[in-house]
Structure formats: C-alpha cells, structure tokens
Structure 1
C-alpha cells in the first residue's frame, strides 16, 4: 500500500438479482456500503460496524464470506486507488440510509444502463464478479 491507497471493507448484499448500493452525501456515484477499518479492527469487525452505521441493520449471523480483494481508481479522490476487501453477506433487518448515506438503491446485476452512476470499483470489478455467480 502507498499513501495514495485507500483501504476499505465493503458489503456485497444481493437480493432477488439486485445489489444494494449506496450514495454518500455530496457525491454522485453509487458504491457498496462499507468504509475504512479503525485501528486494531479486522475486516469482519469493520464490515459489521459499517453496515450498522450506514444501513441501520445488522448482518445475518454467519452469512458473511470474503469474496476477495479488489482495486480500482477511487471514485471521489483524484489520483488515489481504493483497495477493497469485498464480503458477500445477507442483512438481518431492513436497510435505511443513515450516517453519511444520502440514498440507497437496489441495482439489477444485469442492467448495464446503470453503469454510468456506479463507482469504478463497483462497475469494473464487483458487478462482473457477481454476474458470474
């Protein structure tokens, strides 16, 4: 990792062929729920904390599994690279936008017309991966 890298942990939550995406306040691109780990926090702990903070619900116990680590240009930080641990998980409870989240959107995995509003990591790495599964 370099000083221009942004490490995050994200949740890929799929229901009925659609992926839950979020748009943060003051931004125009959708991304996965998640965020940066706090000091001493492992990936799974970060995932649980971020989902609770951003979506106001929890993860179904035992549902989280690591899909892998992915990298792409950061959506809102010019010249930076986001390096993300992506976890596939199921929610327990109904998600609602809170904290810095301005909007939630369920995006059909096979609807390519939404690609212009998706962050690079989501558009180039996550959506193709999930379409295959």
Structure 2
C-alpha cells in the first residue's frame, strides 16, 4: 500500500485492575479501538498518544510511565481502502477512572480472554482490525511466559 493510503496514528493501551483493556468507539463508528489519534504538525508519537488519551478519556499520562509496545499496521477501521500505521504505547499503571470525551461515543473494558476475533464471543462488540490482528496478539505474546522460563514456586 502506498504511503498516501496509510494513516499514521498513536494509541495507548490502558488497563484496569483486572488487566482488561480500555477500548473506545468514536462517534459515527461501529468499531471499538484503543484511545488515540492523528498527530498535530511537529508532534512526536509519544506526545500524540498523551494528548489524544487526555482528550478522549480524561486520563492524563506522565510520559515517563509510557512504554513502547510497537508500531503496527492493519486495515483502517473507518476509512475503506486505507491502512493505519499505529505507534502503540502502554501505560504501565492501573487506570480506574476514564470518561468518554471529545469524539468518543462509548468506552468499555475488554478482557483479553474475550478478544478472540473482530467480534468478541461474549459480547456484540466489534473491534478494529489493528486491535485484533496486531495489538492483542502482541500483548498476549508478551504476557505469556516463554517455554524456557522456570517457576520458582
């Protein structure tokens, strides 16, 4: 896909005390995705993630508490014929309070156990391709102990 058909964004993985992900549905969209969005001119990816998260959820993130999960590409959820390239960061602290703001119509907490496909088995939530194909597998892979890990119990 040519660069003129790729939308660059930044997004943030936020988790609650049970490890569920905060997902948002923007006004006019049927798909849920991570909080995030497009950069302002001259804005670095981390700055974009922090600003968009505050605008969309009211959660203010200190830059020092964000770690880079990766840069992922998938079909855009809301723009047919486009791909989205997302710089995804993870906030490594528990989030308890988030509210839908700006262009966000709805937010939900999604357990990784319920996130098996673009439509979760236990709910009628439709998820963005980037979340299903890239971010959730990366989180699961990172959260799983590797075969060589030894338990000290």
State the TM-score, normalized to the length of structure 2.
Answer: 0.81
Question: Greater CA deviation, 118-127 or 90-99?
Answer: 90-99
**Residue aligned with 1:122, SS:** helix
Distance 1:112 1:83 in 2: 21
Deviation at 1:127, TM superposition (A): 0.9
Q: Deviations over 1:2-31 (max 9, x none)?
A: 110000000011222211000001110000
Within 5 A, what are the aligned runs for 1:79-118?
79-89=81-91, 90=93, 94-112=97-115, 115-116=118-119, 117-118=126-127
Q: Which portions of structure 1, spanning 4 or more consecutive aligned residues, are displaced by more than 6 angstroms? A: none
Uncovered stretches (5+) of structure 1, i.e. residues with no partner: none
Residues 42 and 81 (structure 1), Cα distance of their counterparts in 2 relative to 1, 3 Å cut:
same
Give the count of matched residue pairs: 133
- Report the structure number with the largest CA radius of gyration: 2
Alignment partner, residue 125 of structure 1: 134
Q: Indicate the RMSD between aligned Cα atoms, in angstroms.
A: 1.7
Residues 58 and 91 (structure 1), Cα distance of their counterparts in 2 relative to 1, 3 Å cut:
farther
Contact persistence 1:73–1:80 (CA under 8 A): yes
Specify which structure has the bigger relative contact order, considering alpha-carbon pairs within 8 angstroms and separated by 6 or more residues.
1
Distance 2:60 2:50 in 1: 7
Residues 17 and 48 (structure 1), Cα distance of their counterparts in 2 relative to 1, 3 Å cut:
same
Distance 2:46 2:56 in 1: 15
